[in-house]
Amino acid sequence: MWNSIESAPREELEALQAKRLRDTVERVYHLVPFYRKKFDELGIKPAHVKSVKDLANLPLTTKQDLRDHYPFGLFTVPISSVIRIHSSSGTTGKPTVVGYTEHDMGVWKEVMARTMSMMDVGPGDVVHNAYGYGLFTGGLGFHYGAEEVGAAVVPSSGGFTKRQLLLMKDFGATVLCCTPSFALHMAEVAQEEGYDLKKDFKIRAGFFGAEPASEGLRQALRDAWGLVYIEAYGLSEIIGPGVAAGCPYGNLHVFEDHFIPEVIDSETGEVLPDGEQGELVFTTVTKQALPIIRYRTKDITVLHRQPCKCGRTVTIMESVKGRADDMLIVNGVNVFPSQVEHVLTKVEGITPNYVIVLDKKGVLDKLEVWVEVDDRTFADGIGALENLKAQLQNEMLNDLYINVRIKLVEPKTLERSMGKAKRIIDKREAEGLKS
Amino acid sequence: MIKRYGIKQLSIFLENRKGRLLEVTEALKDASINIRALALAESAEFGILRLVVNNPEKAKSVLASHGFTVMEQEVLAVEVVDEPGGFYHVVKLLTDNDINVDYTYAFVGGETRAILLFKVSSESLEKAMSVLSNGGVTLVEPMFFYD
Provide the CATH topology of domain A4-324.
Answer: Rossmann fold (3.40.50)
Q: Which of A274, A291, A273, A294 is nearest to A283 (CA)?
A: A294
Beta carbons of B69 and A408 less than 8 Å apart: no
Residue A342 pLDDT: 83
Express each pLDDT in A32-59 by its tens digit. 999 999 999 999 999 999 999 999 999 9
List, as one string, the DSSP characters of B107-147.
Answer: EEETTTEEEEEEEE-GGGHHHHHHHHHHTTPEEPPGGGT--
pLDDT of A415 strictly over 70: no
Residue A90 pLDDT: 62
A379, closest residue in chain B (CA to CA)? B71
How far off is chain A from B97, nearest CA to CA, in Å? 23
Are both B93 and B135 inside the same structural domain?
Answer: yes
B73 interaction partners in chain A (CB closer than 8 Å): 380
First and final C-alpha spacing in chain A: 37
Report DSSP state, residue A93: S
Q: Is A416 on the interface with B (CB under 8 A)?
A: no
Are both B63 and B84 inside the same structural domain?
Answer: no
Q: ipTM of this predicted complex?
A: 0.81
Q: What is the mean pLDDT of chain A?
A: 91
pLDDT of A168 strictly over 70: yes
A406 interaction partners in chain B (CB closer than 8 Å): none
B10, closest residue in chain A (CA to CA)? A380
A378 interaction partners in chain B (CB closer than 8 Å): 11, 13, 69, 71
Number of Cβ within a 10 Å radius of residue A19: 12
Cα A312 from Cα A254, distance rounded (Å): 10
Q: Residue B92 — pLDDT band, cuts 50, 70, 90?
A: very high
Q: Which helix (H) or strand (E) holds A226?
A: none
Q: 112-131 in B: which are within 8 Å (CB) of A?
A: 119
Q: Does residue A71 have a cis peptide bond before it, meaning omega lies within 30 degrees of 0? A: yes
Residue A383 pLDDT: 84
Helices (H) and strands (E) in chain B, counts: 5, 7
Express each pLDDT in A372-414 by its tens digit. 887 767 777 888 888 889 999 999 998 888 899 999 888 777 7
Report DSSP state, residue A433: -
Which of the listed residues B30, B51, B73 is the one where a domain comes to its end? B73
Cα A15 from Cα A199, distance rounded (Å): 49
Beta carbons of B13 and A386 less than 8 Å apart: no
Phi, psi of B107 (to 5 degrees): -150, 155
Residue A347 pLDDT: 79
Residue A433 pLDDT: 43
Beta carbons of A374 and B69 less than 8 Å apart: yes
pLDDT of A198 strictly over 60: yes
Q: Residue A431 — pLDDT band, cuts 50, 70, 90?
A: very low
Express each pLDDT in A76-123 by its tens digit. 999 999 999 999 876 666 789 999 999 999 999 999 999 999 999 999
Are both B68 and B80 inside the same structural domain?
Answer: no
How far off is chain A from B137, nearest CA to CA, in Å? 26
Are both B86 and B139 inside the same structural domain?
Answer: yes
3-state helix, strand, coil in chain A (%, to 5): 35, 25, 40
Q: Where are the domains of chain A?
A: 4-324, 333-426
**Percentage of chain A with pLDDT > 90?**
73
Residue A428 pLDDT: 83
Q: Which of A239, A236, A277 is nearest to A259 (CA)?
A: A239
Are both B94 and B44 inside the same structural domain?
Answer: no
Number of Cβ within a 10 Å radius of residue A25: 25
Residue B96's CATH number: 3.30.70.260
Angle between helices A215-225 and A180-192 (to 10 degrees): 40
- Report whether A146 contacts A175 (CB < 8 A): yes
Number of Cβ within a 10 Å radius of residue A76: 19
Beta carbons of B102 and A381 less than 8 Å apart: yes
User: Based on the number of CB atoms within 10 Å of its own CB, is B29 exposed (0-12), middle (13-18) or buried (19 or more)?
Assistant: exposed
- Report whether A294 contacts A59 (CB < 8 A): yes
Contact pairs from chain A to chain B, CB under 8 Å: 48
Which range of A87-96, A206-215, A340-349 scores highest in mean pLDDT? It is A206-215
pLDDT of B134 strictly over 50: yes
Tell me which of A373, A410, A416 to substitute to probe the interface with B (most B C-beta atoms closer than 10 Å). A410
Beta carbons of A386 and B46 less than 8 Å apart: no
Residue A93 pLDDT: 62
Domain count across chain B: 2
Q: What is the CATH number of domain A333-426?
A: 3.30.300.30
pLDDT of A427 strictly over 80: yes
Q: Is A407 on the interface with B (CB under 8 A)?
A: yes
Are both B81 and B133 inside the same structural domain?
Answer: yes
- Report whether A70 contacts A109 (CB < 8 A): no
Beta carbons of A408 and B46 less than 8 Å apart: yes
Are both B66 and B15 inside the same structural domain?
Answer: yes
**Percentage of chain A with pLDDT > 70?**
94
Cα A410 from Cα A413, distance rounded (Å): 6
- When pLDDT is averaged across residues B4-14 and rounded to a whole number, the result is 94
CA count, 13 A, side-chain hemisphere, B62: 19
Beta carbons of A382 and B102 less than 8 Å apart: no
Beta carbons of B70 and A375 less than 8 Å apart: yes
Contacts of residue A177, defined as CB under 8 A and 6 or more positions apart, other chains included, come to: A127, A128, A129, A130, A131, A142, A146, A206, A207, A208, A232
Express each pLDDT in A241-294 by its tens digit. 999 999 999 999 999 999 999 999 999 999 999 999 999 999 999 999 999 999
Report DSSP state, residue A52: G
**Percentage of chain B with pLDDT > 70?**
100
A379 interaction partners in chain B (CB closer than 8 Å): 71
Residue B147 pLDDT: 84
Model pTM?
0.79
Contacts of residue B145, defined as CB under 8 A and 6 or more positions apart, other chains included, come to: B7, B36, B37, B52, B53, B54, B77
Tell me which of B46, B50, B75, B103 to substitute to probe the interface with A (most A C-beta atoms closer than 10 Å). B46
Which of the listed residues B21, B51, B73 is the one where a domain comes to its end? B73
Are both B84 and B30 inside the same structural domain?
Answer: no
Q: Which helix (H) or strand (E) holds A308?
A: none
Q: Which of A96, A65, A91 is nearest to A337 (CA)?
A: A91
Q: Which of A65, A94, A427, A13 is nearest to A259 (CA)?
A: A13
**Pairing mode of beta strands A354-361, A322-323:** unpaired
Residue A52 pLDDT: 96
Tell me which of A380, A410, A413 to substitute to probe the interface with B (most B C-beta atoms closer than 10 Å). A380
Q: Is B15 on the interface with A (CB under 8 A)?
A: yes
Residue A265 pLDDT: 96
Q: Is B41 on the interface with A (CB under 8 A)?
A: yes
pLDDT of A417 strictly over 70: no
Residue B37's CATH number: 3.30.2130.10
Beta carbons of A378 and B11 less than 8 Å apart: yes
Q: Residue A424 — pLDDT band, cuts 50, 70, 90?
A: confident
How far off is chain A from B34, nearest CA to CA, in Å? 22
Q: Is A414 on the interface with B (CB under 8 A)?
A: no
How far off is chain A from B88, nearest CA to CA, in Å? 23
Phi, psi of B35 (to 5 degrees): -85, 120
Residue A99 pLDDT: 98
Are both B51 and B21 inside the same structural domain?
Answer: yes
Q: Residue A215 — pLDDT band, cuts 50, 70, 90?
A: confident
Q: Which of B67, B68, B71 sits opposite A380 (nearest CB)?
A: B71
Number of Cβ within a 10 Å radius of residue A124: 9
Express each pLDDT in A3-30 by its tens digit. 999 999 999 999 999 999 999 999 999 9
Q: Which of A350, A377, A367 is nearest to A424 (CA)?
A: A367
- Report whether A23 contacts A14 (CB < 8 A): no
Helix (H/G/I), strand (E/B), else coil: A421: coil
Which of the listed residues B42, B73, B104 is the one where a domain comes to its end? B73
Are both B91 and B108 inside the same structural domain?
Answer: yes
Domain extent, residue B100, equals 75-144
Residue, of A217 and A55, whose pLDDT is higher: A55
Residue, of A178 and A372, whose pLDDT is higher: A178
The Cα-based distances of A329 to A50, A136, A220, A301 in angstroms read 38, 14, 20, 16
Q: Residue A338 — pLDDT band, cuts 50, 70, 90?
A: confident
Are both B132 and B89 inside the same structural domain?
Answer: yes
